[in-house]
A = this chain, B = another copy of it.
Amino acid sequence: MPAQSQSTPVRALSFAPRPVPLSATLAVNEALARKKRQGVPVLPLGFGEAGIPIHPALTRELEAAAGRGGYGPVAGSAALRAAAAGYWTRRALPTDPSVVVAGPGSKPLLFALLMSLGGDVVVAAPSWVSYAAQTSLAGAEAVRVATPPGEGGVPSPALLADAVVRARARGRTVRTVIVTLPDNPTGTIASEDTVRRLCAVARDLDLVIISDEIYRDLVHDPGHAVPSPAGFAPERTVVTTALSKSLAAGGWRLGVARLPDGPFGRELRDSVLGVASEIWSSAPAPMQHAAAYAFAEPPELAEHIDRSRRLHAAVTGAVADRFAAAGASVTRPEAAFYLYPDFGPLRDVLREGHGIRTSSDLTGLLLERYGMGVLPGSAFGDAPAALRMRVAPSLLYGEDDEQRLAALASPSPAGLPWIAGALDRLTEVLGDLIETADVGEPVPA
């Protein structure tokens, strides 16, 4: 048989791999990079990268640990787990290092949690693109529940119970609800009352809460506290965070999870470590060393984060003003580097002038005609007909580290020429979008 089959002509496989689209946030990043390489001017507002350089003190810590080649413990080094425990303890979430698990980003930690928990997952609508995608890869269903008006990131407690009861009535096993505090994509923070009510419902419904708090240190007003469900339902809440956003080290791939104390938390930890040991072994060792330094929050990093928070507030606010001036409705962002404008008030004009009926019609037109990269609300699980989009202005801070550092240092970064230029281009794009619609030049969507 072997000799014979070697002489038959080579043929392709008869089956197709599972179709899995690229994560929408990463896809828009790559689409814009292609346009840029082609020489097309772009307005990159799609990708959730912090847009600032890594602080040199943090870089030095990575350099100091560059020679660490061993895998180390699956859960992460003792030094990193102790530092992360201290970080949470300083935020009114007393934490023992034994409940901390590190991974190559909070994204893989979230996936391991979903694999360990099993069952379907309630996610907010809208919510970060990967929650629902990971749920599907884990073989489960995402149950989408709308957020309360003006409060992103937390499924409305009033709607949650009904959605879970209905899913269970059709035979589904719902075990988890994911919240984002502060929120991506809306840049808002759910109120303490909403979080308390969510915790009460989760307790009644026997749900684990995963609280993605990766933007916690980027609240624009430092006096505005972030209510964590781990404070109200500690026995069932997992908290995740990472170096990616507040320290702009997304490319380092380092995240941590804080699991519940107690018997359930220990079982969950063992299961997550089992999954981690089979999928990724450990977080990168040199980054673990640097992260231990970062989670100890030395003054130079705290000041750096403080500056980046002011920068995000200033530019995100200026961008929100431009959208509002063009006629969109915008909830003022309170944290992180996102806003979520709603073109509902311009629905008729956009449909009649450009044939736009969905958020992806709108963002597709902005990308193709203007090189403006933003993500449609539908990518976040919003209703396709809702004309909302996520705008991430952080890549406007500079083309190089010199510009980015100047933006960090500036008392009024929105006035820096390269940022002001991008803001004016945004006004121009939005103006042209409305104007060409008004004068009745329909463009196929």
- A193's closest neighbor in chain B, by CB? B2
Cα distance A245–B224 when bound, in Å? 49
- Report the Cα distance A108→B53, complex, angstroms: 28
Instruction: Flag whether A417 is at the interface (Cβ < 8 A).
Output: no
Among A6, A134, A252, A284, the one with the most B-chain Cβ atoms within 10 Å of its Cβ is A284
Is A63's beta carbon under 8 Å from chain B? yes
Among A177-185, A203-211, A345-353, the one that faces the other chain is A203-211
Closest CB in chain B relative to A326 CB, distance in Å = 30
A280-308 residues at the B interface, CB under 8 angstroms: 280-287
| A119 and B17 alpha carbons, distance in the complex (Å) | 10
Per-position contact with B for A65-97: 1 when CB-CB < 8 Å, else 0? 011111111100000000000000000000000
Given contacts A17-B267, A108-B279, contact A285 B251 (CB under 8 A): yes
Q: Which of A7-15, A38-46, A328-336 is found at the contact surface with chain B?
A: A7-15
Tell whether A218 is near chain B: CB-to-CB under 8 Å: no
Contact, CB under 8 Å: B137 / A22: no
Q: Which residue of B lies closest to A13 (CB)?
A: B264
Cβ-based interface call for A18 (8 A): yes
Q: Which residues of B are found within 8 Å of A263, using beta-carbon distances?
A: 12
Is A18 touching B251 in the complex (CB atoms < 8 A)?
no
Bound state CA distance, A380 and B50, in angstroms? 44
Q: Which of A247-288 contact B (CB under 8 A)?
A: 247-253, 262-264, 267-268, 270-275, 277-287
Given contacts A280-B253, A286-B252, contact A273 B22 (CB under 8 A): yes
Residues of B close to A123: CB separation below 8 A? none
Does A357 interact with chain B (Cβ within 8 Å)? no
B residues near A21, Cβ cutoff 8 Å: 274
Q: Is the CB of A264 within 8 A of B12?
A: yes
* A197 interfacial by beta-carbon distance below 8 Å: yes
Q: With the chains together, A137 CA to B277 CA distance in Å?
A: 12
Report if A169 contacts B (CB, 8 A). no
Pair B251/A137 contact, Cβ less than 8 Å: no
> Nearest Cβ in chain B — how far from A119, in angstroms?
8
Q: How far does the Cβ of A74 sit from chain B's closest Cβ, in whole Å?
A: 6
Q: Which range holds the interface residue count of chain A?
A: 35 or more
Indicate if the CB atoms of A17 and B268 lie closer than 8 Å: yes
Q: Is A253 within 8 A of B53, CB to CB?
A: no
Chain A 1-40 interface mask (CB, 8 Å, partner B; 1/0)? 1110110101111111111111100110110010000000
Select which of B201, B235, B275, B287 is within 8 A of A137 by beta carbon: B275
Complex: how many Å from CA A268 to CA B18? 8
Report if A111-B204 is in contact (Cβ < 8 Å); known contacts: A12-B262, A53-B67.
no
Contact B71 A66 (CB under 8 A): no
Specify which of B47, B68, B107 is in contact with A251 (CB 8 Å cutoff).
Answer: B68
Q: How far is the CA of A428 from the CA of B418 in the complex (A)?
A: 72
Is A116 part of the binding interface, using a Cβ–Cβ cutoff of 8 Å? Answer: yes
B-side contacts of A273, CB under 8 Å: 22
> Could you say which of B26, B72, B157 contacts A74, with CB atoms under 8 Å apart?
B26
Q: Which residue of B lies closest to A111 (CB)?
A: B279
The CA of A116 and the CA of B17, in the complex, are separated in Å by: 5
Tell yes or no: A377 within 8 A of B by CB.
no
CB nearest neighbor in B for A251: B285
Decide if A105 is an interface residue (CB 8 Å cutoff). Answer: yes
A250 contacts which of B47, B70, B119, B199 (Cβ < 8 Å)?
B70
Nearest Cβ in chain B — how far from A4, in angstroms? 8
Besides A17-B118, A22-B273, 7 other A-B contacts (C-beta < 8 A): A2-B197, A12-B262, A20-B270, A111-B278, A134-B279, A284-B287, A286-B286
Interface residues of chain A, those whose CB is within 8 Å of chain B, are 1-3, 5-6, 8, 10-23, 26-27, 29-30, 33, 47, 49-50, 53-54, 56, 59-60, 62-63, 66-74, 104-105, 107-108, 111, 115-119, 130, 133-134, 137, 139, 157, 161, 175, 196-197, 199-201, 203-204, 206, 208, 233, 235-236, 247-253, 262-264, 267-268, 270-275, 277-287
6 A-B contacts (beta carbon < 8 Å): A23-B274, A29-B71, A47-B71, A62-B66, A66-B66, A107-B278
| The 10 nearest A-B residue pairs measured at CB | A20-B274, A251-B285, A23-B277, A2-B200, A17-B271, A62-B66, A54-B69, A5-B200, A63-B63, A133-B278
